Structures are given as C-alpha cells and as structure tokens.
Amino acid sequence: MAKINAKADGVKTVDELNGWITAEKAAEILGVKGSSMSYLAYSGKVNAVRIAGVILAEKTSVEEYKKVMTMREYANARKRADREQSEQSKRQGKELFAKVQKLMETDPEKAQALIDQLLGDTAK
C-alpha cells in the first residue's frame, strides 16, 4: 500500500510503493543518516535501485539488514561487557595480590595458610 503525501502542484510523493521505499524512509527504519543509507545501497548490503536520480530500497531487504545490525550491536555490546569484566577481574586480582604480598611481609604464616586455603591445599 502506498503512503501518499499530496503536494500543492498536484504531483504526489510516495514514501513506499509495492515493497519499495525511499532511501530517506530506509534510513529512518535503520536509524542511520542518509549518507550511510547511500553507502548501504551502493555497497549492495540492501537491495536498491536508482530511478531518475531517486534511490529506492526494497523494504524487506532493509528490515533484514536491521536484524543484522541489531545482532551486531548485541555482539559488540557483549564484547564490551566481557572486556570490562575482564579488566575489572584483572584489577581485583592485582589488588588481592598486593594485599597478600603485604600480609606475607607482616605475617608469613597467616599468608601461607590463606594461600593454601585458596588453592585448596588444606592438608598441611
């Protein structure tokens, strides 16, 4: 179904027609700028045609690419979260090591007992 905006001169502007949408509408769906949409069209990432200087994108292709973008965003967010968790673990490990080192200097027996407990070596 075509969405029609009437112009004062009688020529109608359509954002969608028989499964094809304007590049502007596609950019809106994808949440990208017009120049990014042009790149996606010209690189073949979405099915698109150019008619009389107007780029039209296949709506189903745009919707499928939106799913790919969403999966990439999720994967990137997961990587960032994993990286942050790894950095936090490293930081906590360094802090714990510094505490154990200080304990080794002040009370070596207590430090060794703690290390044995952490390593599961309670046979001593």
Domain locations in the chain as residue ranges? 3-65
Q: Each residue of 86-121: pLDDT tens digit?
A: 999 999 989 988 888 888 888 888 888 888 887 876
CA angle 23, 35, 64 (to 5 degrees): 50
Out of 1.10.10, 2.60.40, 2.60.120, 3.40.50, which CATH number does the structure's domain 3-65 have? 1.10.10
Q: 80: Cβ–Cβ under 8 A, 6 or more apart, which residues?
A: none
Q: Is the pTM of this model over 0.75?
A: no
- What pLDDT shows up at residue 75? 86
Residue numbers in the chain where pLDDT is lower than 70: 1-9, 121-124
Between CA 17 and CA 56 the distance in angstroms is 9
Matching residue, tokens 């996606």: 40
